[in-house]
């Protein structure tokens, strides 16, 4: 059995554009996963963080991995891209966030689904709306309209 999952992809250190594009490709090579759709790339100012602008996108996956196993694979890709976590919201070489895993609602120490801050962040909502418009309401998009974001 497979599930549709949505993964936010972002980076703001090094060649962020190349890193995001590579991560979007690498997601298709995960065990028991297939890329269904990829959004355009977006440039956005950091939210609750410092550092250079981010390059962001969202990828839709079809996966047979359990949510926790998928999260572990995402973290493995982050580490492979040199991700370090020196402090909360530090600039990053790669950030992969599991936004949705089907309609699963769960909260553990390691994973909360759906991602708890989706509705606050234009850099997630705009690319998500591009590939899964049913997941994002017009009202939600209006609430983040003041955030600086540019489709590349």
User: Among residues 26, 43, 97, 135, which one is catalytic?
Assistant: 97
Residue 13 tokens read as: 């250190």
| Exposure class string for 60-84: b at 16+ Cβ within 10 A, else e | bbebebebeebbebbeebbeebebe
Residue 102 three-state SS = coil
Active site residue 26: no
Does the annotation mark 103 as catalytic? no
- The helix (H) or strand (E) run that includes residue 4 is strand 3-11
15 is catalytic: no
Catalytic residue among 92, 121, 143, 146: 92
| DSSP H or E stretch at residue 11 | strand 3-11
Annotated active-site residue in 22, 34, 83, 143 = 83
Active site residue 138: no
Catalytic residues: 83, 92, 95, 97
């Amino acid at each position: 059995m497979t599930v549709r999952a949505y993964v936010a992809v972002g980076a703001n250190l090094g060649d962020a554009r190349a890193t995001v594009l590579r991560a979007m490709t690498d997601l298709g090579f995960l065990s028991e996963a297939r890329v269904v759709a990829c959004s355009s790339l977006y440039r956005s100012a950091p939210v609750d963080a410092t550092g250079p602008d981010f390059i962001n996108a969202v990828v839709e996956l079809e996966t047979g991995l359990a949510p926790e196993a998928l999260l572990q694979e995402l973290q493995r890709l982050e580490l492979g891209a040199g991700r370090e976590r020196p402090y909360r919201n530090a600039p990053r070489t790669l950030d992969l966030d599991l936004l949705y895993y089907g309609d699963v609602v769960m909260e553990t120490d390691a994973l909360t689904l759906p991602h708890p801050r989706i509705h606050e962040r234009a850099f997630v909502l705009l690319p998500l709306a591009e590939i899964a418009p049913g997941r994002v309401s017009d009202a939600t998009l209006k609430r983040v309209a003041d955030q600086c974001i540019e489709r590349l």
